[in-house]
Each structure stands twice: as C-alpha cells, then as structure tokens.
Structure 1
C-alpha cells in the first residue's frame, strides 16, 4: 500500500512540475512594486475604461483585458521591456500576465489590485 501511494505521489509531482514552470507568472506585492519597480518599466491597468476613469495609478496606461483590446495591443509592444500589470483584484492582471508570457514576453509582473496599490501609497489620479 505504501509503495502504491509513493508511486502515485511521485507521478503527480513529476507531472505537475513542468506545467508550473511553463505557466509561471511573476508577482510583486504592492510594497515590493513601490520599492523596486516604480522606477522602471511600463505600468498597465488592465481594467475597463470605466474602472480606469474612476481612479488609476498616475503613470498607468489602460488596456482593457475583458474586451480583447489587451490581446490586440500586446502585438505591438516591445517584448524586451518590463511590464507591470494590475486590475481590481489581481485576477485579470494575472491572466493578462500569463497571456503575455505565452506570447514571448520575459519580464512581466502581476502587481495585484488597485486598492492595495493605492493603500501602499502609490500616486493615483481620481
């Protein structure tokens, strides 16, 4: 019985590892972004234009992930630059970062949700 469990677990972990490496999305907390990254890279808000208009980080540009604008926009972006993505909660920006990673972008970070970034003291425009 122990042998079967050990073999099953070994198989599970050996299969799971390559998948995680291929779909890994880099993340930074709002504090890490504030300390490290706010001096370099391109900041992108992937929320809707309405959400963006209600309040956004000062240096951010907007590219809506939900309506396909984002997927079309990244085709013209420089894959050598560093990108920092955020949304309302970190969910859409995580999906957007994964999409960019799959398209060949190497330096893409999900920095989470707008309220967390605002609470960390990053400058906003409302």
Structure 2
C-alpha cells in the first residue's frame, strides 16, 4: 500500500513539474500586452503560424510566416534566435498553442502567445498590414 502511494505521489510531482515548466516558457497574453511587448522589443521575432494565404491577406507588421500546418516548421523555426523573445499568433489560438509547445521542445526560452489570435487582435482595433 505504501509503495502504491509513493508511486502515485512521484508520478503526480513529475506531471505537475512538467506542466509548470511549460507555463514558465510560454505566456499567453492579451492583444494589448502583446502589442506593448512588441513595441518595447528591438527587432521583435513575430511569428505568424497561419497559412501563406491567410498571412498574405493580412498580418502583423514585421511578422514572419511559418505555416504550422506546413512541412517545414522545424527547419524554418531554426532561423530564429532561441534566446530572444518570440511572439506567436494564428487566427484564433489553436495552431499557435501547438506551435508554442513545439518551439518549447526546440529549445526556445521565452515565448509569448497572442490570446485569441489575429481575430481578437483585429477586433480590439490593433494595426495590421494588408498586402
């Protein structure tokens, strides 16, 4: 009985520590905070993980498009500086969550995810670039 309890306790600690580590590297922030952080960062690494079609229609200024659904996400992400903040967004937040988790696995140390994605960004009146 004691052995089962200790095994459960150890498993729980390991699980919770992994969850905490994710939250330390990835910060989901509102469009206002996202915009403020980008403005205060010299040469910010802004990553749009939508498709090329979505990106070409409209995107954040100075964003780099690396399609999460494409086949070259890891390769193209390797061109970014892992030790600098990276700002990630998609349309509504589903793809950016997955992309942030992958960036963490690839060794990125500080990741900011736009809560609500580009939809919320636009709804709240923040600027974007139309091509």
Q: What is residue 3 of structure 1 aligned with on the other side?
A: none
Q: 1:96 and 1:73 mapped to 2: Cα distance? A: 12
- In the TM superposition, residue 106 of structure 1 has moved relative to its aligned partner by 0.4
State TM-score, norm by structure 1: 0.80
* Gap runs ≥5 in structure 1: 1-6
Residues 2-26 of structure 1: CA distance to partner in whole angstroms, max 9, x if unpaired? xxxxx7xx84853531230243332
What is the TM-score of this pair, normalised by structure 2? Answer: 0.78
Give the root-mean-square deviation of aligned CA atoms: 2.1
SS of the residue corresponding to residue 125 of structure 2 reads coil
2:77 equivalent in structure 1: 74
Aligned pairs, number: 119
- Find the aligned partners of 1:49 and 1:79 in 2 and give their Cα distance: 23
5 Å-filtered alignment, 1:99-114, equals 99-112=102-115, 113-114=117-118
Alpha-carbon spacing, 1:38–1:91, altered in 2? closer, same or farther (3 Å): farther
* Deviations 1:24-82, CA, capped at 9 Å, x for gaps: 33211111112233331211110000111121112211111101222211123211121
What's 1:95 paired with? 98
Counterpart position of 1:43 = 46
The reply to whether residue 32 of structure 1 matches residue 33 of structure 2 is yes
CA distance in 1, matches of 2:78, 2:84: 13
Q: Which segments of 5 or more consecutive residues in structure 2 lack a partner in the other structure?
A: none
Runs of 4+ residues over 6 Å off in structure 1: none
Conserved? CA contact 2:91–2:118, under 8 Å: yes
